[in-house]
Amino acid sequence: MSAIAGHQHDVLTITEAWQREGRALALATVAETWGSAPRPVGSHLIIDSDGNFEGSVSGGCVEGAVVVEAEEAIRDGKPRFLTFGVADETAWNVGLSCGGRISVLVQPLAETEGNAATLIAALNEARSGRRPVLLASDIETGRSQLVGDDDKADPALMDRLRQGSSGIVELGAAKLMATVYVPPPRLVLLGAVHISQALAPMAASAGFDVSVVDPRTAFATEERFRGVRFLPEWPQDALPKTGLDRFTAFAALTHDPKIDDPGLTAALEAQCFYVGALGSRKTHGKRLERLREAGVGKPALNRIHAPIGLAIGARSPAEIAVAVLAEIIEAKNTSGTLAEAAA
């Protein structure tokens, strides 16, 4: 998936801050890659007229050349579309095993109508609201538009947004750089159990924003979950605060129907991209009966991963945590999960 999330958000936040300071700026974006490219399509580098920059388009091997071109773009107000070949010896210097090529779009962010500069604040607002959004920029003229999942834009752009895939889109004679931004993934763990203790730090290191919910205050303590957001409340009260959405994974781990069932219902209603529940097949069968009686439909019930986790023969809490995280990552990266969630 080539959509941008996580650390790339910082680049655009810095861009908006530098705009407020009145700096003259250019935004560089990886548009295409071939071979073992250092950074994925959609990666950003922001440069000001003094040569200050943040972000990365190549891991360091072509940044200097991009900065020079960006300073020229700031001066003449014209975008550039650059292609770089990363030689084998250069690739080794940035930690790659072989060379590659990248194309980079450099856009001056002058405050002119139709320029991407006028869209940065709206783009950041959409991302802070966890709404998937696409920035489409003409590589010849620099004219840009912002496309949300509720908009009626060209089908090719909407397909990119649905797929969560950044890249070049050809619309007639025009070539557009379509950069897709999806919210960074969240993981909500219902149950401050030993599995959660192992799973929370692993998931955080994999890029998930982790929250733990458990009304049993003896379990949900800061000492057991250092550095993790925890809410010692019933799921009915806590889950609205966590912001369940299509970019959230949810795991019910308490074995207590009074806690797990309302949490699972809320996660299914929110269209979380992954919903899993701890327990044997027999336990899950009883769970399905209860949820059906509570009015949850069969299509939603079929989305529950149970028994939770990939079948790797896990036994200890730490091993089960590995299996659960692997299943969540598989769901995140498999076609038909986050990509469809952006539709």
CATH number of the domain residue 197 falls in: 3.40.50.720
Shared-domain flag, residues 170 and 278: no
* CA atoms in the 13 A half-sphere facing the CB of 158: 8
Pick the last residue of a domain from 181, 208, 238.
181
213: CB partners within 8 A, 6+ apart: 188, 189, 190, 191, 220, 230, 231, 233, 235, 238, 239, 242, 263
Q: State the pairing for strand pair 229-231/174-181.
A: unpaired
Measure the CA–CA gap between 297 and 269, rounded to whole angstroms.
Answer: 10
Q: Final residue of a domain: which of 181, 214, 247? A: 181
Full 3-state SS string of 233-248:
CCHHHHHHHHCCCCCE
Same domain, 150 and 45: yes
Helix (H, G, I), strand (E, B) or coil at 83: strand
Range of the domain at 18: 8-181
Specify the 3-state DSSP secondary structure of 178: strand
In terms of domains, do 139 and 76 share one?
Answer: yes
CA dihedral sign, ordered 36, 338, 12, 26:
positive
Pair 244, 114 in one domain? no
pLDDT at position 39 is: 83
CA distance 75 to 106: 13
Nearest to 51 by CA among 62, 64, 38: 64
Is the same domain home to 324 and 204?
Answer: yes
The Cα 7–Cα 30 span in angstroms is 15
Asked if residue 251 and residue 218 are part of one domain, the reply reads: yes
pLDDT at 340 (0 to 100): 40
Q: What is the mean pLDDT of each run of 10 residues along the chain (343 residues)?
A: 53 95 96 81 96 89 90 96 72 52 92 80 93 95 91 90 92 94 94 96 95 89 85 95 94 96 98 96 97 97 97 96 98 63 35
Within this chain, do residues 118 and 204 fall inside the same structural domain, yes or no?
no
Closest by Cα among 181, 176, 172, 118 to 148: 181
pLDDT number for residue 4: 55
Alpha-carbon Rg for the chain in angstroms? 23
* Contacts of 53 by beta carbon, 8 Å cutoff, 6+ apart: 45, 46, 47, 63, 67, 70
Do residues 156 and 210 share a domain?
Answer: no
Structural domain contains residue 1 = no
Output the CA–CA distances (angstroms, integers) from residue 176 to 37, 42, 66, in the order listed.
Answer: 21, 13, 19
Question: 229 and 316: one domain?
Answer: yes
- Looking at the structure, tell me whether residues 164 and 15 fall in a common domain: yes
Q: Assess if residue 132 is contained within a domain.
A: yes
The pLDDT value given to residue 1? 40
Same domain membership, residue 58 and residue 115:
yes
Residue 2 lies in a domain: no
How many independent structural domains does the chain possess? Answer: 2
Determine contact, residues 79/48, Cβ cutoff 8 Å: no
pTM of the full structure: 0.79
Domain boundary among 120, 150, 181: 181
